[in-house]
Structure 1
Amino acid sequence: MNVESTGERLRTRSFEVGKEPQRCVDPGVARLVRAVNSAAEAEVTRKTALDSKDNRRTASRRGGEDPAAGTWAEGVGPRSADVAPVSLESGVTASPHADLERLALCTSAVAESERSLLCVLDREGRILFANQAWRQGVGKGGPNPGLADVGGNYLEECARAAKDDVTAVESYLRVQDVLAGRLREFSLDYPCRIGEKTAWFQMSVRRAQGPLAAAVVRHSDITASKLLEAASERESHYDRLTGLPNETYFREMLISMGRDCPERFQGMAIFHVGIDDYDMLVHGYGRAAARAVEVAVSQRLKNLDQKKVALGALTRGEFLVALHCDSCLPETHSMAHRLRALTAPPVPFGGFNVYMRTSVGVALMGPQVVDEIAVERGLQAAEMALLAARRGTGSSARIYDDAMAESHRRMAAHHAIARKALDRKEFVLYFQPIVGGSSRFPVAFETLLRRRLEDGSVESMQEVFGDLERSSTIIEIDQWVIENVCRQWVSWRQEHGSRWPVATISVNVSAFHFQQAEFLTWLRATLDRMGMPPQSLALEITERAYVDDESAFVRSIRGVAGMGVSLWVDDFGTGYSSLQTLRRGFASMLKMDRAMAAPETYDRRTKAMIAAVVSLARGLGVGTIGEGVETPEQAEELDRLGCDLQQGFLHARPMAAADIESWLLAMADKRPAQDAPSAGVSGATRAS
């Protein structure tokens, strides 16, 4: 290797890209440089005084002053090349010449207090003196045997090492720059093989001033800090449990590959793999078993072709896989099938097998610029596809498509609307009466949430709320509604006393809210703070609601029932999850979905289904409410089939608090005393 030509290319390239050498901030080097500079200043002062004295003597002998003898001529003084090194008592090797002795004495205290390898160079790169650590380091068996010893030329050693080491080329160039005055200081890190181990050193060079010393060089062992840095970097980039890249590093990997290898991104698919019912796995088998399953799944994923895939790990049994593909759709279907097959076998743990199911969400990315925004959208799309797969049958794979994209945009818009309405206090409560099947007098009413627009009109939020499940916003809205319903209810009861005609008010609550650990504590505290009797409140949960933490959900409904609050199942007949709730005996009322009582579907099959639901409810001691009643014929048919209560436009539309107050009091004046309920609507016995 031609060091000069290689160095020139390196120097040119560095300055072309605007790179500056790393500044040396080594405190040990700085202290030694200050000592060298102090020695230089003292030497200049001494020589100036001697020079002045000699000039006066010469002028006296000649009988006059010599105008040319006022300053030192360039090149006058001892040359370090003519000086033989000696060892001083301090352990610092120096020249017998007085200049070097004074320099050594000024710097020895600083140099020998350092464990690092320290030396001082002259302008030619020769080592004027070095501390004991340097002499031991360059000796046989030392950590840096390639370094020159005292009297040797440090630059020449760098040049020899540069034939096989690019780092040595850079150090050679930078030391030259410092000695020539083009650079004040620099530092660089380099590895060094010591026996079977690799150590790391930091080379620091700083310019000095004086007639002899030109630079101070220090080599410090930084192996410990490098190991700590590597461990910290690994911890920040990799999942501690599975050893796979974490989400942050996975993103960086995709962005980096897209930037460095754009030809590989003719097509890419991102797979979001999730273990279904992860919480049930934790509660059923324990956290240790769940962790064992995650480790086993990660090991199986590592068996994939690492040349075509990138892997990542999330939390709670979820993983990421990125596939580079030429014809993405066929390869995507094949990979999705393979991922589910890989995760299907049970995982042995503690003498038994842990079975699991997995769902996969897939996002396809065609030829495009793979930047941070594109990767974020791809990961987001894969997660949405996973949620869609889980909301279906589970244990399946879904590819993110235009319909999901539209749904995603709608959900984002609805979330923004709800957030704005909550922050601006645009929500208002409306109430719709629920009447007895035979008496047609109100026995309860349901709370409905409306949004008041700027023009004073109100709009329903039903469609918006359907897209807010599994979000923190729906929890805030639930809490706002329950608190204001309790406040309004207590106000009515205090004002009207026994004239108040109904004893129960229902509120729709998100199933996601039921799954929060603090839900029961918050509900109990709210009822106590508002003075709301628990038996006067009913919480409605739609049967269509998705429950991903069934154990937490069951704990909440058991706690709700335990504190005396009624639980109603809304939209019964449109899902399947409420059968478990009914079997456990927590629900006290079934609200049959309006689709079952709609006039256009009111055929023989529908009537048979309504009769079956009523029979099931009675067998379980649960009341029934028919929703969406709009015609007298519907009302009569529900009566005939044995439905306990009815709700719909035929009986009353939703009304604001002031309107329903006057309406209910007017109805109460017409109601026979024996029909007035004495407690909350808790089931069939209080239905009418």
Structure 2
Amino acid sequence: TIIVRARDLVHNALASANLLDDRQIVMSVYASDKPDPASLIFSTRTDDAPVPRDTMSAWIAPEHRSSLVRTIEAAGRPWLVEIIALPRPFAADHLASLATLAGGILLSLLTAAWVQASGMRTRRVQQLVRKRTADLKRTNRRLVDDMIARERTEKALQQSEQRFRQLVAMSSDWYWEQDRNYRFTMITGGFAEKAGVMVERVLGKTRWEYMEGLADTESGRAHIAQVKAHEAFSDLEYQVLDDNGDTRWFLVSGQPVFDEHGNFQGYRGTGSDITARKLTEQRVHHVAQHDVLTGLPNRSLLQDRLSQAVAYATRSANPVWVMLIDLDRFKFVNDSMGHKAGDVLLMTVAARLRSSLRDSDTVARLSGDEFVVILSEHGEQHLTVDIVQRVMDAVAQPVMLGTKEFFVTCSIGVAVYPSESTPADALIEHADIAMYRAKKLGRNNFQFYTPAMNEESLERVRIEGALRNALERDEFVLYYQPQLDMKSGKIVGMEALIRWQHPELGMVPPSRFVSIAEETGLIVPIGAWVMRTACAQNKAWQDAGFEKLRVAVNLSARQFAAAGLIESIEQILQDTGLEPRYLEIELTESLFMSDVTPAVELLHRMKALGVNLSIDDFGTGYSSLSYLSRFPIDVLKIDRSFVADITRDANDEAIVTSIIALAHNLKLAVIAEGVETGEQLDYLRRHGCDEIQGYYFSRPLPAPEFEQLLVEGRGLAPEETAAVEPEPVTA
């Protein structure tokens, strides 16, 4: 058996190679392929512990080591050889390098310190430069802003001065200055050209010296006191006579001037010529207080004049008369001749009223064709009825309207103040009541107000109030007056006449309420009710077997002008079932004379329905052959005013005879209204009148009584209808 001592073998091998002499090399041999302490067979490591070193020594002279590990195969097994070089000081081997490194580091540190110092100084310089630059910029900006602001201020000042000059030029015509004694020292701006007054006339004088009368007025004295109190004033208006003697109006404003010590030095201000404005204001004021058409004072100025007259009457105990003048039949002139003719008539009457009265009297136009006159008694000029009569005579003079001569009369009501029955605030109202009384008495006269007239006026108010509810309360009734044929003597038609059965007033005749209904417009629904009721009653009598009669219904001016008239008539005929030929519509001449062309169209549309058309009260209005030929008329009705005196008045006889002849020549029928005597009947029969209507045969009857008339078959006696050859009409 061969025993190999591995330790000795390795030791001998290393020794022979002189590898054990170097104490800085540790060699270890392991009998395995891993450095396992259990398989360690040889090592040159000693147990001496390393000497501990402080941090600074380790940092200045660092130690370093290296190692080598190899595995070899010998004797059929692996052997691990580990060679480790022990640590040794780095400085000892690299002293020169370390010296160089230390010098470089020191140089770098010095360089860095110098650079840092230089950089800090540079930064301080830069900061200082930036601060100085910012200060300079701010200063420069403030300087620029100041320059811009100054330029703006100078420009604004120039614009303000320019605007002030323009404003002064636009708002005033001249500039003036006064000294401490209020005397003018300077006037510029073309005062002589614009004011019409030479400057020399004003310089050296006070305003109240060159303007005579300023100190005599309350406003002038107030201005002088204001100026002497050294107060500013504005918009002082006063009038002067210019160098041509014309009245001029000036408007001035002024400011007191004081020196630096507060001592008064005078005035300065502006002035303007406002003559054109004042004349315009006067014209506007005149228009506001005067009637445009006649130039007379209107209602506004009338009240002012009346207040002055009443105040004078109260102080002097002299009476004041108020006359209210209303033109008679002015509506007829306006409707027949047109509004232009009506305007001419109003202007003519206004001129006549002014010329017939004193300059101290007031003539005003109240409204429409109504005028008011205020008469005051002065000294020995007593008020008498002769003044009223003089006014009536002046108005009644003929007036030429175009180529026609018209005679227009007036009705006058007079109220007196002071009077127990007439307070001052009721003068016009009482004069109006008296005027209505004059119209009621036949027109063309004058009446002084009495308390009894007020009762009539109050009754008119009561009637108007009750009239508004009469239709709803079914208070109206129709009466029928028969129309008889002169040849057969039979009843051939009837006229429907309205009556008002009031529960308190009793039976109110048409004369008391129809005019009021016309004025208020209530006539339109009332007229429609009359037509519908009359048509329904006529149809009922026809259905009852009576002779088919014609019923006549009056059409008012308001109805004729109302919209939908044709449709209303057509609807009534349709609703009642009455044939159109049994309805006769009565029209007055004034309804269609204001505007003929539309009236012609309307009448033809009405005629197209199949109804009959008649002219009521023919001869009392603007009778014209031209419209008789143009209008589709069937019947002419002679007014009762002509029939009443045909047996006593030759003029009325001639008129009636002419109307009958005219109608027959135009193929029209003639009905005479208001026949009350046998003589009238005989005259009409002898002259060929077709039909008559009047109290001679029957008064208007309520429907039951008229029906009884039909039942009895009453008519004219045979001797009343005897055929007589019509008498010829003499020229």
Q: TM-score, normalising length from structure 2?
A: 0.51
* Alignment partner, residue 365 of structure 1: 416
Against the structure 1 CA distance between its residues 148 and 505, is the aligned structure 2 distance closer, same or farther, given a 3 Å change threshold? same
Aligned twin of 1:537: 583
What are the superposed Cα offsets for residues 230-254 of structure 1, whole Å, 9 maximum, x if unpaired? Answer: 2222233334454433454334312
2:513 to 447, 468, 483: 468
Matches within 5 A, 1:32-111: 106-107=160-161, 109-111=163-165
Question: Cα distance 1:427–1:284, how it changes in 2: closer, same or farther (>3 A)?
Answer: closer
What is the CA-CA distance between 1:324 and the residue it aligns to?
Answer: 2.4
Could you give the per-residue CA deviations for residues 215-244 of structure 1, whole angstroms, max 9, x where no partner exists?
995433322222222222223333445443
Partner of 1:418: 467
Query: How far apart, in 2, do the equivalents of 1:444 and 1:303 lie?
Result: 52
Partner of 1:201: 250
Matching of residue 576 in structure 1 with residue 641 in structure 2: yes
Question: What corresponds to 1:606 in structure 2?
Answer: none
Structure 2 residue identity aligned to 1:112? Q
1:527 maps to: 569
Query: Which residues of 2 match residues 320-399 of structure 1 at below 5 A?
Result: 320-325=372-377, 331-343=383-395, 346=398, 354=405, 356-367=407-418, 373-388=425-440, 391-392=442-443, 394=444, 396-399=445-448
1:413 match: secondary structure? helix
Contact 1:419 1:473 in 2 (8 A): no
1:226 to 272, 278, 290: 278
- Deviation (angstroms), 1:258: 1.9
Question: Are residues 1:190 and 2:238 paired?
Answer: yes
In structure 2, what is the equivalent of residue 483 of structure 1?
528
Q: How does 1:12-23 map to 2 (within 5 A)?
A: none
Matched-pair identity in %: 14
Instruction: Check 1:226–1:625 CA distance in 2 against 1; reply closer, same or farther (3 A cut).
Output: same
Q: Is the 8 A contact 1:361 1:400 kept in 2?
A: no
Give 3-state SS (helix, strand or coil) of 2:513's partner: coil
Partner Cα separation in structure 2 for residue 315 and residue 218 of structure 1: 47
- 1 CA distance for matches of 2:589 and 2:307? 32
- Does residue 135 of the first structure (1) align with residue 188 of the second (2)? yes
Rg comparison, structure with higher value = 2
Which residue matches 1:116? 171
1:622 corresponds to 2:691: yes
SS for the counterpart of 1:266 is: coil
State the 1:410 CA deviation.
1.9
Q: RMSD of the TM alignment (CA)?
A: 6.0
User: Match for residue 454 of structure 2?
Assistant: 405
Q: What is the Cα deviation at residue 527 of structure 1?
A: 0.9
Question: How do residues 642-681 of structure 1 correspond to structure 2 at under 5 angstroms?
Answer: 643=697, 648=701, 652=704
Q: Secondary structure at the match of 1:187?
A: strand
> Which structure carries more strand by proportion?
2
> What is aligned with 2:231?
179
Letter in 2 for 1:259: A
CA deviations on 1:471-492 (whole Å, 9 max, x unpaired) are 4556744322343355567778
Task: Give me the whole-angstrom Cα distance separating, in 2, the residues matched to 1:374 and 1:531.
Answer: 50
**Residue 406 of structure 1: CA displacement?**
3.1
What letter is aligned with 2:284?
A: S
- Which residue type is aligned with residue 163 of structure 2? A
| Residues 1:193 and 1:325: Cα distance change in structure 2 (over 3 Å) | closer
Partner in structure 2 of residue 4 of structure 1: none
Report the AA paired with residue 528 of structure 1: E
Q: Which consecutive residues of structure 2, in runs of 5 or more, have no partner in the other structure? A: 1-155, 618-636, 645-654, 714-720, 722-731
Q: Which amino acid aligns with 1:111?
A: R
Check conservation: 2:327, 2:408, Cα contact below 8 A.
Answer: yes
**Cα deviations across residues 402-450 of structure 1 (Å, max 9, x unaligned)?**
554332222222122213445xx33455455778999999986846455
Count of aligned pairs between the two proteins? 499
Task: Choose 270-279 or 255-264, whichever is displaced more.
Answer: 270-279
1:567, 1:587 within 8 Å by CA — same for their partners in 2? no
Report the alpha carbon displacement of residue 297 of structure 1 after superposing the two structures with TM: 4.9
Distance 1:264 1:505, change over 3 A: farther
TM-score (norm 1): 0.54
Distance across 1 between alignment mates of 2:407 and 2:593: 19
Q: Does the CA-based 8 Å contact 2:514-2:523 persist in structure 1?
A: no
Decide whether aligned partners of structure 1 residues 359 and 473 sit closer, same or farther in structure 2, where only a CA change above 3 A counts.
Answer: closer
What is the match of residue 41 of structure 1?
none
Please tell me whether the aligned partners of residues 347 and 355 of structure 1 are also in contact (alpha carbons under 8 angstroms): yes
Does the 8 A contact of 1:444 with 1:502 survive in 2?
Answer: no
Q: Counterpart of 2:641 in 1: which secondary structure?
A: coil
Distance in 2 between the 1:328 and 1:567 partners? 59
Query: 1:365, CA displacement in angstroms?
Result: 0.7
Q: Relative to structure 1, is the Cα distance of residues 381 and 485 closer, same or farther in structure 2, using a 3 angstrom cutoff?
A: closer
Q: Structure 1 unaligned runs (5+)?
A: 1-101, 542-546, 597-608, 627-637, 655-663, 676-683
